[in-house]
Amino acid sequence: MLPEFHLKFKTLLATLSSVLVLVTPTAGFADEINIYSARNEALIKPILDKFTEKTDIKVNLVTGKADALISRMQSEGQFSPVDVLVTTDAGRLARAKSMGLTQIIPNEVSLSSVNATLVDPDRHWTALTKRARPIMYAKDRVDPATLSTMEALTDAQWKGRICIRSSSNIYNQSMTAALIEQLGEQATEQWAKGLVANFARPPAGGDRDQIRAVAAGQCDIAVANTYYLAGMRESQDKATRDVANSVAVFWPNQDDRGVHINISGIAIAKHAKNLAQAEALISFMLSEEAQQWYAQTNGEYPVVDAVAWSDTLKAMGTFKHESIPLQTVGEKNADALKLMDRAGWK
């Protein structure tokens, strides 16, 4: 009797398994998408909610530090649940690609509205927004007529007057990598040494901290992303708005290569299970509706030229920006970091 019981039990298990396969959707066909985002939840969830409203695709969002999310994808390997990576800076997107963590965005997803310099040449990622990194100065202490280029920040007149983040910051690494591409490594290293010599203090804090340091008189000039200044100018806190409004933006290098820019971007994970949903998300994020939301709500420049800037961004002025491929900037990240270290940029 015992062998017969075992046989019937195995048959029952097989039948139940077949039923479960029929009634339980697989990850590949589930109407959902799993996103790893380096963007703060408050800065991305509202637009993802709009995506769900339009498509009925459920979004499972995991937020975290950009580098930590890339490391997580690597450690999870083929078992990773992530379908899409949303992160900041082309350097990180290029790194994820080089680590084999992303895949080609299918041709069914049109990227024609995005300038080719803001898209990986192999279509492993595309920009969603642009951020400029200009010079910001104290209105009451700096005559903008004395400003010109990033290279000129090494002049003696700026001795002890400049605040900027550390060399560990990806924004500074990408800015330096862009200079290596455009000026050459030797000239860029001389620039970095001259910039370090003019620091008002050892690098500390984020971009908002550099802006606050200018307002507090700790330095007269900061290099920071416009995205942060826009957020401070639109803050609900009056003291924060006052700090931001005490600082003005100067667009360097307008007579030659233009100001440095970088991006936030999106890539499809190598082992994405919900590929169709990932394609739908990218298409939505490049739509006029989503791009308008980024511009008006997040203080970022749209990558679709037809979309209008927010009034806060317009008030900072128009500008010419660098036109080098950002994939190249990402590839030179390691060289930039070594150069900054040699220059004494802590």
Q: Is 7 among the domain residues?
A: no
Task: Give pLDDT tens digits for 156-202.
Answer: 999 999 999 999 999 999 999 999 999 999 999 999 999 999 999 99
Are 65 and 80 contained in the same domain? yes
| pLDDT at residue 5 in the model | 36
Q: Is 14 among the domain residues?
A: no
Are 122 and 238 contained in the same domain? no
171 in a labelled binding site: no
Q: Is 64 among the domain residues?
A: yes
Are 213 and 122 contained in the same domain? no
Are 256 and 275 contained in the same domain? no
Q: Is 208 among the domain residues?
A: yes
Task: Give pLDDT tens digits for 91-104.
Answer: 999 999 999 999 99
Six-digit token pair at 56? 């009925």
Are 177 and 249 contained in the same domain? yes
**pLDDT over 80 (residue 283):** yes
User: Which among 65, 265, 258, 252 has a CA at the least distance from the CA of 169?
Assistant: 65
Are 192 and 333 contained in the same domain? yes
Are 175 and 101 contained in the same domain? no
CA distance 337 to 341: 6
User: Which among 241, 164, 143, 267 has a CA at the least distance from the CA of 209?
Assistant: 164
Q: Which domain holds residue 138?
A: 132-260+320-342
Work out the burial of residue 11: count CB atoms within 10 Å of its CB; fewer than 13 is exposed, 13-18 middle, 19 or more buried: exposed
Strand pairing report for 32-37 and 58-63: parallel
| pTM tops 0.75 | yes
- Once rounded to an integer, what is the mean pLDDT over residues 225-231? 95
Are 80 and 143 contained in the same domain? no
Largest CA distance in the chain: 98
Domain total of the chain: 2
Q: Is 18 among the domain residues?
A: no
Are 207 and 112 contained in the same domain? no
Residue 233 belongs to domain with CATH number: 3.40.190.10
Q: Is 3 among the domain residues?
A: no
Residue with tokens 């082309």: 90
Are 45 and 154 contained in the same domain? no
Give the DSSP H/E element, type plus range, for residue 119: none
228 in a labelled binding site: yes
- Residue 157 DSSP one-character state: G
Task: Give pLDDT tens digits for 16-59.
Answer: 333 333 333 333 345 999 999 998 888 899 999 999 999 999 99
Q: Is 5 among the domain residues?
A: no
- Tell me the residue type at 203: P
Are 221 and 158 contained in the same domain? yes
Report helix angle 170-183 to 185-197, nearest 10: 130
The most confident of 1-15, 148-162, 320-334, by mean pLDDT: 148-162
Q: Is 273 among the domain residues?
A: yes
Task: Give pLDDT tens digits for 209-225.
Answer: 999 999 999 999 999 99
| pLDDT at residue 30 in the model | 58
| pLDDT at residue 42 in the model | 84
- Evaluate whether 86 touches 39 at the Cβ level (below 8 Å): yes
Task: Give pLDDT tens digits for 230-259.
Answer: 999 999 999 999 999 999 999 999 999 999
Are 191 and 334 contained in the same domain? yes
